[in-house]
Amino acid sequence: MEKKPARTTSLLTLLLLLAACEAPPLLYLSLSLSLSSAVEGRVCEFPSSIFKGLCWRDRNCANVCHAEGHGGGHCEGVRRRCICQKPC
């Protein structure tokens, strides 16, 4: 019976990780970028010059990139950097 609390803790941890995951918005962003790039041209990506720290929310990164005068942005990579985007 001692394994039941460990299972419950593991299950709750897994659920929290899944709830915090931003996979659906990232999927939507990548699909919309691929569709828009096919229609409008290429999209150039580069690191944000203003964003500091680890990038966990695409929305925050996009807001910073908009403030820099770019079209948008998203969090990317193992180092969780904010990558801005604009038409080439």
Instruction: Decide: 68 and 61 in contact? Cβ < 8 Å.
Output: no
Q: What is the pTM of this model?
A: 0.54
Q: What is the pLDDT of residue 41?
A: 82
Q: Which residue ranges in the chain fall short of pLDDT 50? A: 1, 18-19, 22-24, 26-29, 31, 35, 37-38
- The count of other CB atoms within 10 Å of the CB of residue 52 is 8
CATH code at position 59? 3.30.30.10
Look up residue 88 and give its amino acid: C
Q: What is the pLDDT of residue 17?
A: 54
Q: What is the pLDDT of residue 31?
A: 47
Instruction: Check residue 80 and report its DSSP letter.
Output: T
Q: What is the pLDDT of residue 37?
A: 45
- Domain housing 16: 3-87
List, edge to edge, every strand of the sheet that includes 43-47.
43-47, 81-87, 72-76
- How many structural domains comprise the chain? 1
Look up residue 9 and give its amino acid: T
